[in-house]
Structure 1
């Protein structure tokens, strides 16, 4: 496991180094004046203006000034100091060639030679630096409206009314009161048997028998 962990660290280190190398290669190095270098040209300041118009300067790029030591130098100055070629209080000053100046901020940058009369003769440069690609915001694009999905009717959240069973028809009530129901009890009087002797016939016979019994006494 330790070997795998070590290999992972080596792989990560290689990736980081590759990214840094790629970032370095993406920067552009501009040699001021090309083969002529940083000196007093026949065209004066217009010669450097023409050279700068053919370049694209971006934050992260670098300017290289090639000149003869102790005969020239390069100073970055403010806009107010550029036109009158004021060399006091420069932003930066390089006296040894080749001088590499990094472009770290966007905007207009001004460079002059501080040796006597060199700036007035035309040894001066103005460039415009744009923001780096990583610092600029991507262009805004109008998002494409996605196609609307087919509209589907969502299921109703209202509880479904259960099916009602039909009620039996009811008759309309009448004005006459209903007769009470007739109930049959268990102690019903049996119908007298026609074969049994009649009560009226049994009683005289019994009285006659009683009377005959007294007569015999």
Structure 2
């Protein structure tokens, strides 16, 4: 009986954490581009990223890509050996651990022109203020579903339509179901 209580409580904690995950569209309405002169460093500084959050890179795949790189590669815009490369134009990446995550466009000249991003996922015990709410849906987003990838941090110590709302409702329903099962088991 005690094991059942622990399992139910653990499931509730996991579901509550999932309901807090956010989806951020890189560059907001401008997306991942060199044309709109987006300051990605400034953009990232206005957000607080947490483990479980998802970042969405939306771009024209004929002109751009997304490369996940090391800190040294990021600083020098070296695209010779990226950790991973994304090319769909609608890349969804879930952040799975704290620390810095480094990205840039591998098309020659784009990183040097500022199409690079350093995301700092805060440590779970950090007391950093909450960020802006996740993005909302707009008509300019591509119609194809995002390709989803989960990646770890780059190993450097501590830097759309939103699916967060639907996850929140599902998590709340699961928690309610678990609570009702928990209460039913103890009613007898």
Q: With structure 1 as the length reference, what TM-score do the two structures score?
A: 0.49
Matched, 1:118 2:110: yes
Matched, 1:40 2:34: yes
Correspondences of 1:2-151 after superposition (within 5 Å): 22-43=16-37, 47-132=39-124
Q: Give the CA deviation at 1:16.
A: 8.9
Match of 1:165 in 2: none
What is the aligned residue count? 123
Change (3 A) 1:84 1:26: same
Alignment RMSD (CA, Å): 2.7
Deviations 1:175-208 (A, max 9, x none): xxxxxxxxxxxxxxxxxxxxxxxxxxxxxxxxxx
Q: Which has the larger radius of gyration?
A: 1
Deviations 1:52-97 (A, max 9, x none): 1110011111110000122111011001101211112212211002
Relative contact order: is structure 1 or structure 2 higher (C-alpha 8 Å, sep ≥ 6)? 2
Q: Give the CA deviation at 1:15.
A: 9.4
Give the secondary structure class of the aligned counterpart of 1:82: helix
Give the secondary structure class of the aligned counterpart of 1:119: coil
Q: 2:59–2:89: 8 Å Cα contact kept in structure 1?
A: yes
Displaced runs of 4 or more, over 4 A: 14-21
Give the strand-richer structure, 1 or 2: 2
Q: 1:111–1:125: 8 Å Cα contact kept in structure 2?
A: yes
Distance 1:59 1:119 in 2: 26
Deviations 1:81-140 (A, max 9, x none): 01211112212211002101111121112110011111111111112111235xx7xxxx
Deviations 1:32-65 (A, max 9, x none): 0000000014546xx1111111100111111100
List gaps (5 residues or longer) in structure 2: 1-7, 127-188
